[in-house]
Structures are given as C-alpha cells and as structure tokens.
Amino acid sequence: MKIFKPFLLCLSVVIMCYILSGCSSDNTIYVAKTGSDFNEGTFDNPVASLEKAMEIIHESKLSGENKISKVIIREGVYYLLETLQFGSNDFSNEKESLVFTAHDNDKVTLSGSLLLNCKWEEYKNGIFKCNAPELMGKSVDQLFINGKRQIRARYPNGNSLSPDLSSFIYLSKADAWPHKRIYFNPETFTSKKWKNPETAILNIFPHNRWGNLQIKVKDINYENNYFDIEHRQPQINETFFKLVKRPGTYLSAQSNYFIDNVFEELDSEGEWYFDDKEAVLYYKPSQSTRLEDAIVEVPVLKELVRIKGSYNKPVKHIKFSNIRFTGTVATYMDDYEYPSLGDWGIVRNGAVFIEGASNCSIQNCFFDAVGGNAVFINNYAESINISGNIITECGESAVCLVGKSHLNFEGNYKCKFCGADHPWSWNKLSVEIPSNCLVDNNLIHDIGVFGKQVAGVFLSISKENTVSHNHIFNTPRAGICINDGWHGGHIIEYNDVHNTVRETGDHGPFNSWGRETFWCREQSHGKDVSHEAGDVLKDAYLTTHIRNNRFTDNNGWGIDLDDGSSNYNVYNNLCIGVSVKLREGDYRTVENNIFYKGANPPSIHRGYEYNHDIFRKNIVVIDTLSFNPTEDYNFVYREKREKVFHFIGLPEKSKFIEVLDSNLYSSSTGKFMARVDVSPNHPVLQSKYMNLQEWRSYGLDENSLLADPMFTDPENGDFSLNGDSPAFKIGFREFPLDSFGLTNRFTNIYLK
C-alpha cells in the first residue's frame, strides 16, 4: 500500500499535466478557424492558420527537436496568404511522415483565392460592379461565385467551361505561318466596337485540332476584318513540324474560336470582367443569385503546396490527406516548354508541386477547379504516391510526371539510314526524373477547362511508374499519355477510361510517342524512305506494360502507340468502340486483347523494315450495323468500317510485321476484309483490299479464324466467353472483367 499511494500520486500528476496541456501530444499541431495564431496549437488552443502551423514546424526543425509529425485541421476554408513550402533544409525526416490531414471527417479547404468583401452597386443592363483594390496589380483570370467558376465576358456567348463547341465561330483565313494576322468573318463577328482590344484573348483550335491555343490580340482592324496577334511560345510542340511548313499550331478557315476578356461583350448572365487599370470587378448575375449574400473569390496563388528539394538532398515523408485544394490561378498564358519531342507543351506548375522528393504522398484529397495542373511531379522524384483523390474541373492536366529535359534545340543530327537532317539533338540523359511513383485509385473527370492538349495522367522522361485503377473520363484529349519513350518500364493497368478526345482530334483513352535518338521524321512522314528502326531499345530500354484496362470510346484509337513508340507489351485489355494503332516503332507485342466494334480497325502505320512487332491471339469484332444511323452509309463508308485490319505505309523490303497470327475476327457481314495502303514507289504491291485467302498468301493470319467469339452479353458489358467459344482455339485466355477502375479502397469523403 505504501508503494501504491506514490504511484497514484504520480499518475494523477501526469493526467493533470495532460489535461492542462490541452489534451495534445507534443508532436501534433491543431488548426481551427476558431483558433488564434497566438495559441500554442494544442487541441483546446489551436492556431488559426496553416502559416502559423508551418512556422511552429520550422522552429521545431531549426531547434533540432524536429518533433512535429502531424498537423490536424478542423473544418473550414483556409485562405492561404502564401504557398506552403517544404525544402530539403527544413523537412527530410527519415523516421516518420509529417502529415497534414483533416480532423476526423471534417471538410477542410485550402484555397489560393482572395475572399472579396464586395460592395456591389448597379452599373447598367443587369450588370453590377464593385471596387476591388486588393486585386490591383494581380493577374485576374477566374472568378468564383458561391464556389462555382464563372464565365469571362466573351464573344460569341457560350459556356467557356464546358466542351460544347457549338458557340464557336470560324476564321475566314490567316496569313502565312507563323501568323501575325488572322481574319474574321464580319457576317458572324460581333457588331460591337471594342475600346481596348488589347485585353482580348483568342481561344482557338488550330487546323489539325491536336490542342488549343490562347493568344493575345494586339489590335483589331474593323475596316479589313482582321486581328493583329501577339506571338507567343506555342502550347503545342511544333519542333519537327516546322520541317514540313505545316506545324500543329497553324491556323486556317477550319480554325474555330471564341474571344474573351472583352468588356463590351459582358452581356450574358454569369459573365464577368475585371478592369485591371481601375481595379473594378463587373459581373452580371443570374436572377437567382443574391449578390449581397454571395461568396466572391478570385484565385491569386499559382501553387498551394510546394515540396522542393534536390537530387542529393530530397524532401522526404510529407503527406497530405483528406483535404480539398482549390483557388489557383490559370496557367494557359504562361510560357510553355517541350520536355521532349512528344506533341505536348507543358507548364511546370501544379496546385501541388513536388520536386526533389521521395516517399511523399497526396491521398484521399479533392482537387476542385484548380486553374492549372492539379499535381505536378517534376524532375527528380521517387516513390511519390498519388492515390484515392478526386480531381475535377482543373484548367490543365490532372497528374503530371515530367523529368529534366535533355533536348537540345541548338544541335542537329542526320539519320544513320537515310541521311535526313533533324534540327535538334540530345544532351546527356539526366538522372533527375520521376521514378517508382504510384498514381492509383483516383477519380479524374471533366478536366482541361482551359488547356485542351491535356491528360488525366501525363508522363514524360520518367521510368517505372505505375498508373493503376484510375477512373478517367470526360477529357478534351487523352485519358493517359506517355509523351516519349525515354526509359520506359511503366505499368498502365486496371484503369477505366472513357469519353476522351471530346474537343480535339486524334488519339483516345491512351496515347504515346517515341521520337528519340533513332526516330527519323523522313521515314515517319515521307513517301520515299523506308528503313529499319535502329537501336530503339537503347532509349526505351525498359518494357512498358499496358494491361487489364477497359478503354471505351466511339472514335479515334483506344491504344495509340504513335510516332516511334517502342518496347510495349499490350495485353488483356478490353477496348470497346476503339482499337489499337501502331505507328512506326518496334518491339510491340499486342496479345490477348478484345477489340470490340472499333471506330477504326487495328492498324499499323509506316511500319519499319525488319520490325519485331507481334499481333496475336486477339479478338477483333467489326460491326458496320451499330454505328450512328445519321451517317451516310454509302459503299465507301461501309467498306471502311468493315476492315478487320489495316496497314498504311508498308515496309518495302521486308515482311509487313514479324508475327500476325492466331487471331479471331468477327465481322457483321460474315466476310473477311483487310486493307493495305502503300507508297507510290513500293516495288511490288499496290494499295488494295484483300480477302482471307489473299491475306494469307503474304504469311498473315495463317492460323486465325473468322467466327463469332460468343460473348455472353457484350451489349450490356459482359464479355465473358461461352464455353464453346472458338476464341479458345486460337489460344485466347480469359482475363478478369470486374477489376477495372476504382477499388473498394476508394473512400474519399468529398465524393458527392
């Protein structure tokens, strides 16, 4: 008993100290809207801002204690005054993560917007205005009213935030590329005269519609119906297209556009305009909007979180979870760069930016209408985990992983086979690349509000990353894009991707490029050159696997391995309404896939001489009867749809393909029809359609079958096979059809 009494006394003291400390352990900071930055950050005495929490963490690190491991944030919207920054000198904990998370299931928002206290007054014609001196000198490219992005004053009227292109109008013509002047049609153009045309921004699709451009207008000539436009670094990589004098950015009468940021065009509900000279905001609300009660926000920060270390001293173990990110400025008027020779230009920026880091994660968060890319993983980054997030209505791409570029625009090289000149070269490949990162189990949809050459997941100059179990839909261009073949070794698996390429042309749910040191533009696009690939495995030295995905669409290609894409293994994919295209490249194996009623048949374009491509044990179903009945079903159209395979640009000295065999073809006509298109100087063949007998005379599909695969209920999504299916005779192996997309681990609290 004598021993027990002192024990009780000590225990009482410990409990009392714990109570007096605010029920908080020393390693946790609490943040609450009801708190104060004069508080110590305990459970009962939280701080009020993330900036104060960061200050406490910095002080702990500088003191040598480094004891803070968790920041718990209570419900509310936290308007950041500056980006939360994590540097290698401040954060490199080897033992445990520094976690920022919401308290329980509280809804927590980190915003880069300014919350305006507007004193609205009526202007005219239903338009209201308010003074906003806090925005003086800031770039104002978005306005949010009650959490919804509004439409900047534009002509023609329309919803700039949706993929509906019906409100666009067309140019009449453009001057020679690179354009300085473009011409509008006065019959379709506005009748209003603009006092300040230099504020206007042209939002336009180039001739080929591979993406869009936003270009500043310098002046407008009403007498001769043209705009003078300001040259800028294009958002689409036109490096090698300059050689053919017809780059992806050239404009023509097929270019449709709208123009925004024009005060005189503020005439529709939901439109706004900011006079940056007077710092006055104009807005025309809908009849249901009560401006006196409205929450008015303007994004002013480019990044909300910046985790930036170095290759030699990375930031480690930073984690954000269960947090909503919003309110970042748009980046479409920033300078774009081209990390490699893939078509895409990028801005190295994101609402969450990660560089020089390892073992960091963004999990179960919500990226809601950020202005540019949602997550950008830049240069050296290893074992970054982006999982369980919702990403929607972002201005550009959802998740980007982009390594340090070694493309040299000052150099040049000649093709070793044909001697063709190429006005670029490559420096030594950098080690500063994203690797072993995981983009998993994310819900990504309705992205690319401003930029259109964007993707749900974009990879460039990186290796051995996994993109898995994501549900990606409603994109203006690709669902998943690999911009080049450098390194490789990626795993693209169990994704559910559909409704892509809604505003652009070409590609589909997945696309890639492979224009590396052995790629020859003349072989790819010329008519007089046909040669082998070269040592493409020197650059794409790791095999990329595309497997167990469901790719669904009704145009373009489901799996588009474009210019030079090499070293791919494509298997166990279900492609509905789309198929596969192999443009010039090498070492591609396409095996055990289902291609069901593709808008295009499986195709190989500009095949290399002596290539090592393999296409076998696939099920290919062609159906001309189920396409849009409003189409003109003339013979040519039906004939195009009835092809079961298509070669464009055959090799001239070697086999078409190393292996094309043991496939099951099913056609609604019950007939086999394939097509070859050859260059005019092919030494033997002419372009023509072939029946099965003639096709086999070239050593193709000797063991393939023409028969019904006997799916259980394909029109309702059941592609399991009847036990008597002839697909088993060609060696087809059934694969799981219930594992595409999000898993039951997806429990995001922001899912509406």
Q: Is the pLDDT of residue 3 over 50?
A: no
For the four alpha carbons of 22, 24, 26 and 27, in that order, the dihedral sign comes to negative
Query: Which has the minimum average pLDDT: 54-63, 311-320, 492-501, 660-669?
Result: 54-63
All CATH 2.160.20 domain ranges in the chain, comma separated: 305-730
pLDDT in tens, 295-338: 999 999 999 999 999 999 999 999 999 999 999 999 999 999 99
Across 232-241, average pLDDT: 82
Q: Answer for the pair 371, 333: CB distance below 8 angstroms, yes or no.
A: no
The secondary element (H helix, E strand) that includes residue 637 is helix 635-642
- Residue % of the chain over a pLDDT of 70: 92
**pLDDT for position 684:** 86
Model confidence pTM above 0.85: yes
Question: How many C-beta atoms surround the C-beta of residue 713 within 10 A?
Answer: 9
Collect all residues with Cβ–Cβ distance below 8 Å to 648 and sequence separation of at least 6: 603, 604, 605, 606, 677
Q: How far apart are CA 410 and CA 424, in angstroms?
A: 6
Alpha-carbon distance values, 744 to 26, 388, 438, 442, 601 (Å)? 35, 10, 18, 12, 35
Q: Is the pLDDT of residue 9 over 90?
A: no
The two tokens of residue 600 are 């295009």
3-state SS of 8-60 is HHHHHHHHHHHHHCCCCCCCEEEECCCCCCCCCCCCCCCECCHHHHHHHHHHH
**pLDDT for position 679:** 84
3-state SS of 351-362 is CEEEEEEECCEE
Q: Is the pLDDT of residue 555 over 90?
A: no
Please tell me whether residue 591 adopts helix, strand or coil conformation. strand
pLDDT in tens, 656-712: 999 999 999 999 889 999 999 998 878 888 999 999 999 999 999 999 999 999 999
Name the residue with tokens 């167990």.
548
Query: Which has the minimum average pLDDT: 55-59, 424-428, 429-433?
Result: 55-59
The secondary element (H helix, E strand) that includes residue 439 is strand 438-440
**pLDDT for position 247:** 77
**pLDDT for position 231:** 84
pLDDT-derived band at 631 (thresholds 50, 70, 90) equals very low
Q: Is the pLDDT of residue 16 over 50?
A: no
Q: How far apart are CA 128 and CA 270, in angstroms?
A: 11
Exposure string of 118-155, with b = 16+ CB inside 10 Å and e = fewer, is bebeeeeeebbbbbbeebeebbbbbbbbeeebbbbbbb
pLDDT-derived band at 244 (thresholds 50, 70, 90) equals low
Question: How many C-beta atoms surround the C-beta of residue 733 within 10 A?
Answer: 11
**pLDDT for position 10:** 44
Collect all residues with Cβ–Cβ distance below 8 Å to 145 and sequence separation of at least 6: 283, 285, 289, 294, 295, 296, 297
Please tell me whether residue 182 adopts helix, strand or coil conformation. strand
Name the residue with tokens 């749809």.
641
**pLDDT for position 14:** 40
Strand partners, 110: 78, 325
pLDDT in tens, 586-617: 999 999 999 999 999 999 999 999 999 999 99
**Between β-strands 361-363 and 385-387, what pairing exists: parallel, antiparallel or unpaired?**
parallel
Question: How many C-beta atoms surround the C-beta of residue 445 within 10 A?
Answer: 18
Q: Is the pLDDT of residue 628 over 80?
A: no
Average pLDDT, the chain: 92
pLDDT in tens, 72-131: 999 999 999 999 999 987 776 666 789 999 999 999 999 999 999 999 999 999 999 999
**pLDDT for position 634:** 34
- Residue % of the chain over a pLDDT of 90: 83
pLDDT-derived band at 35 (thresholds 50, 70, 90) equals very high
Strand partners, 76: 108
Q: How far apart are CA 185 and CA 170, in angstroms?
A: 8
Which of these, 128, 132, 127, lies nearest to 115 by C-alpha position?
132
Across 530-546, average pLDDT: 97
Counting DSSP H helices and E strands in the chain, the numbers are 5, 68
Q: How is the chain split among helix, strand and coil, in percent rounded to 5?
A: 10, 35, 55
Question: How many C-beta atoms surround the C-beta of residue 247 within 10 A?
Answer: 21
Task: Compute CA 96 distance to the chain's CA centroid, rounded to the nearest angstrom.
Answer: 32
Please tell me whether residue 584 adopts helix, strand or coil conformation. coil
Fold of 305-730: Pectate Lyase C-like (2.160.20)
Q: How far apart are CA 687 and CA 676, in angstroms?
A: 5
Q: How far apart are CA 561 and CA 570, in angstroms?
A: 10
Q: How far apart are CA 557 and CA 383, in angstroms?
A: 31
Across 256-279, average pLDDT: 97
**pLDDT for position 67:** 79
